[in-house]
A and B are shown apart, each in its own frame.
Chain A
């Protein structure tokens, strides 16, 4: 079955450490996204990529970095510069990033829960 796989599901890190969250999709989608979810807040866009080797900052990109070397993969690195990294991180994909309509909607992975100790 096609889908999006995120790993790890749970991650603990010490302050000052970088950590990389994996996101792999086999849906043949062009566009991929990273969101962050905090209690009481809507999902906020960190980075997105419309095509291989290209990505754009979202609303809260500071302290994060991404790469898109393969269509299937869009890893997110949470760097030590991110002031408040404890959150639920969601990766998503869509056929394209244009005209997000009923036929072209976001599909999410199961998420990665990061806790900074």
Chain B
């Protein structure tokens, strides 16, 4: 079983739609969580960190469920420019490494 699992998609949604991605992690020692966005053939860029109480940044909402070991990303009012691959990233307590999911591809159409 992969340490971090994501549905690869693609998720094809119309502009203005709300879309949600989940990411599950297997290591209970996971302590820090992030969502990165990666455009085609570009480097990943931090979208947002995920805090225990959940957090929001404009149209983006991230949530953490430690009991079920998953994090989620909700995008409201999707824009064409949201089309990208969204990477779930986890840091394990007392390690120097990040574990990356394979990413979920989102395609927003007009």
| Chain A residues proximal to chain B, CB less than 8 Å | 31, 35, 40-45, 48, 50, 56, 58, 88, 90, 97-102, 105-111, 113
| Contact with B102, one of A31, A42, A48, A97 (Cβ below 8 angstroms) | A42
* Contacts across chains A and B counted by CB atoms under 8 Å: 56
Per the bound structure, the CA–CA distance linking A31 and B45 in Å amounts to 17
Specify the main secondary structure of chain A where it touches its partner. Answer: loop
CB proximity to A under 8 Å, residues B1-31: 2, 4, 8
Q: Is the CB of B45 within 8 A of A102?
A: no
The winner among A31, A105, A110 for most chain B CB atoms within 10 A is A105
Taking the closest CB of chain A, its distance from the CB of B2, in whole angstroms, is 8
**Contact (Cβ within 8 A) B42 A111:** yes
Nearest CB in chain B to that of A108: its residue? B43
Q: How far is the CA of A108 from the CA of B42 in the complex (A)?
A: 10
